[in-house]
Amino acid sequence: MEPTYSRSIVYYIYSMEKTAGKRRQKPQRNQQKHATYNNTSHLISMSHCHPILKYTSHDSFATSLVSVCSQFSRGVYAIFGFYDKKSVNTITSFCGTLHVSFITPSFPLDGTHQFIIQMRPDIKGPLLSLIEYYKWDKFAYLYDSDRGLTTLQVVLDTAAERKWQVTAINVGNLKDERKDEAYRSLFQDLENKKERRVILDCEQDKVITIGRHVKGYHYIIANLGFVDGDLSKIQYGGANVSGFQIVDFDDPLVSKFDQRWEALEEKEYPGADSKIRYTSALTYDSVQVMTEAFRYLHKQRIDIARKGNNGDCLANPAVPWAQGVEIERALKQVRVDGLTGNIQFDQHGKRVNYSVNIMELKNNGPVKIGYWNEVDKMAVTKSDVFPNDTTGMENKTVIVTTILEAPYVMLKKNADLFLDNERYEGYCVDLAAEIAKHCGFKYQLKIVGDGKYGARDAETKIWNGMVGELVYGKADIAVAPLTITLVREEVIDFSKPFMSLGISIMIKKPQKSKPGVFSFLDPLAYEIWMCIVFAYIGVSVVLFLVSRFSPYEWHTEEYEDGQIQTNESTNEFGIFNSLWFSLGAFMRQGCDISPRSLSGRIVGGVWWFFTLIIISSYTANLAAFLTVERMVSPIESAEDLAKQTEISYGTLDSGSTKEFFRRSKIALFDKMWTYMRSAEPSVFVKTTAEGVLRVRKSKGKYAYLLESTMNEYIEQRKPCDTMKVGGNLDSKGYGIATPKGSSLRTPVNLAVLKLSEQGVLDKLKNKWWYDKGECGAKDSGSKEKTSALSLSNVAGVFYILVGGLGLAMLVALIEFCYKSRAEAKRMKVAKNAQNINPTSSSKARLSITGSTGENGRVMTPEFPKAVHAVPYVRPGMGMNVSLTDLS
């Protein structure tokens, strides 16, 4: 026997809108109403159920609940309806107590609630995925308290974990009569705070009507009906708008229903002239779920009408319906395809395995760019999303902001003869042309009005320069030597670096110093010369001692004169002979004596090896030091700058270099920043040209800190009087900038990478830096040029020669006087103080004429004959034996 159902199904449509909003919500309410009627026939034809439709408002909700309770004792299988923040607790308690299932398209609830079947999928997962995709780390969240705070709480928890900056604003308490004014004030406050990324989890139509829709703003509509709102007012305003769509109008099932719906008479079915909203689609699917549940019970021949009591909500305590669990189980087991996609529930009555389309607003209307589900998370299926969109670029002229800065952008000499982009030349002009060619768009170069790169004012928080033009929607892209920094990355997007660089030091090129008089000493440091002197003395002393102690260094000299011989042991290496031997060896000259013993020869050999290496090294470097004119720089690094006060230094007044020093925590750079900030007169300049001019006119008393690329370029320009000293203080890069979320970001980024791989970027740099340079090749200053030595190069050698000759004459005079006096004393010759003694006279005559006699004969004084002994070497002897002539 076929089961019968004595109870009724109550479709309880509960409007969450107040009276003031009923007129605006009438089409949506009618859609929900007629979607319910449209699907009721299937349920009635399948069973003997009687639908009861009742509408209520906030004020009559308690009365309606009593009415439903009275109907409950007469037989109710399930309740369909909406709830809000005020009624949700009452409804969940009512249904849980009486075991009656409540099917609702309202916002999902947190936690577990028995007998609540939630048709609306949770939006928290798709919303967080979209925020991460856009890489938002700072945004405003506008919410309506009537919609619940569950989504906001999840966003705030995630923000705390990932260090996002979220400004949560409750717009649910705004009074109806002053809503427009309140919204305008709200958006003006957001504009002042530069909050241009906004999540709308509130009254969408009002925000769309009043909100700012200019370029630079980006909205995410946090509901499942992106196409439900009137987006025509913001479609062409320039703002980016993203959201989610649960109803896929490309789905055949939806298309079929939509055709039937739009075919209805609009007079009889108000709202039939527009596409079905997602809440109405959820209403339709709710009825379909109940239909499938009762169909399942019918197939299983479960006669729930005769099981247990009917329940009584008016009893004290209330009596639950015994068959309510069977109904709930059947509802949770439903799996069907509806207008909102796959409909499936978990054990808590929440939607699972659903898919949500990701939508973005284009000039031609809403466009699906991807989808989100629990398995794949967010999947982008089209390349024309905001970060990558180039749709319509072929017919749009892109405004390229840049700055006049050689060699990046310069006016041609005959610029007046050209128009638009043809008036400019330079590295960035060529780069912009290459980027446009690869991305396929037309562009127009626009010089930034204030001539600045871009910095944020500390007081007003307003951006200036090229960054400001991007932030405030005055330009589409910036192709300029714009440094990639953290503070700029917070408000604009950068491409991959097209040039790497760092902060460097520019000074006026010092005059080349000519070699000094004693520059021949420069090949070796003065410490080495001192060590050589000490080594020379040490070797001489060691040789003297070794010769004294070694018995093989002593020998007998024989003097031959007739038959008389005498033998005595002698040693040739006294202290003066040792010094003479060491000096001769060092000068690579010969000497009439040499060591005889093995120990003495070891000393000599080691000394010869030492002198070989030293002299060879000296000779190898001597030519360079005598012929190359060197520049002596007063500073060589940032440390040299920081520890002195004679040379002032500064940066560009508005730019990344100044920001680097201001934010640096390194002690050296912090010290430099303290000096620059307090220096009088100011060391900051308004333009790079002013900084370079200041360096050239300062006579070496001002150093300019700027990017290394610009430093290298200026070094190659006439009058060639500046130079880069030291290494780079940091490492960074120039990037092409676009507004946040710009459609140009990805294609420009890919173009830069392609140009880098093809070597185009290197060719452009060589073209504008070195091929057009005016000071010779890049490394020409380091190449030695062959030149003749001048007298100044070797003057010191002549000075030493003249000094040595003079010293020799002085020493000879001293020897002469000393020897004459010694001989006079020995001969005990007393002469008058006014007369020259014969000995001195004869010595002087001998020194001048070579003889002491009248006829030139050499007169031999009566000195001991041994003094004039002539050594004679006996042949065949192993050692020399001297014979003394006593005649």
CA 310 from centre of chain: 71
Pick the closest to residue 120 from 103, 135, 142, 141 (CA basis).
103
Give the integer Cα–Cα distance in Å for 199 and 219: 6
Pick the closest to residue 672 from 635, 639, 704 (CA basis).
639
Strand ranges, E, within 509-567: 512-513, 555-557
Q: DSSP letter at 483?
A: B
Residues paired with residue 446 on neighbouring β-strands, in sequence order:
401
Q: Is 483 annotated as a binding residue?
A: yes
Strand ranges, E, within 33-152: 51-56, 76-80, 101-104, 116-118, 138-143
Question: Under a CB-based contact definition with an 8 Å cutoff, are residues 736 and 435 in contact?
Answer: yes
Give the integer Cα–Cα distance in Å for 353 and 345: 8
3-state secondary structure of 55: strand
The side-by-side arrangement of strands in the sheet containing 442-447 is 442-447, 397-402, 477-478, 737-739, 492-494
The side-by-side arrangement of strands in the sheet containing 218-221 is 165-170, 138-143, 197-201, 218-221, 240-245, 355-362, 365-373, 377-380
Question: Under a CB-based contact definition with an 8 Å cutoff, are residues 650 and 531 in contact?
Answer: no
Q: DSSP letter at 213?
A: -
Question: Under a CB-based contact definition with an 8 Å cutoff, are residues 735 and 498 in contact?
Answer: yes
Q: Is 3 annotated as a binding residue?
A: no
Question: Under a CB-based contact definition with an 8 Å cutoff, are residues 507 and 634 in contact?
Answer: yes
Residues paired with residue 373 on neighbouring β-strands, in sequence order:
355, 377
Pick the closest to residue 478 from 504, 452, 460, 500 (CA basis).
452
Q: What is the 3-state secondary structure (H, E, C) of 334-381?
A: CEEEECCEEEEECCCCCECCCEEEEEEEECCEEEEEEEEECCCEEEEC
Q: How far apart are the first and last CA of the chain?
A: 171
Cα–Cα–Cα angle for 417, 418, 423, rounded to 5 degrees: 120
- Residue 662: partners with Cβ closer than 8 Å, 6 or more residues away: 673
Q: Is 657 annotated as a binding residue?
A: yes
Give the integer Cα–Cα distance in Å for 227 and 242: 11
Q: Which token pair is 28?
A: 């949506």
Q: Is 656 annotated as a binding residue?
A: yes
Q: How many residues does this entry show for the chain? A: 887
Question: Under a CB-based contact definition with an 8 Å cutoff, are residues 501 and 734 in contact?
Answer: yes
Feature table: binding site: 481, 483, 488, 656-657, 707
Feature table: binding site for L-glutamate: 481, 483, 488, 656-657, 707
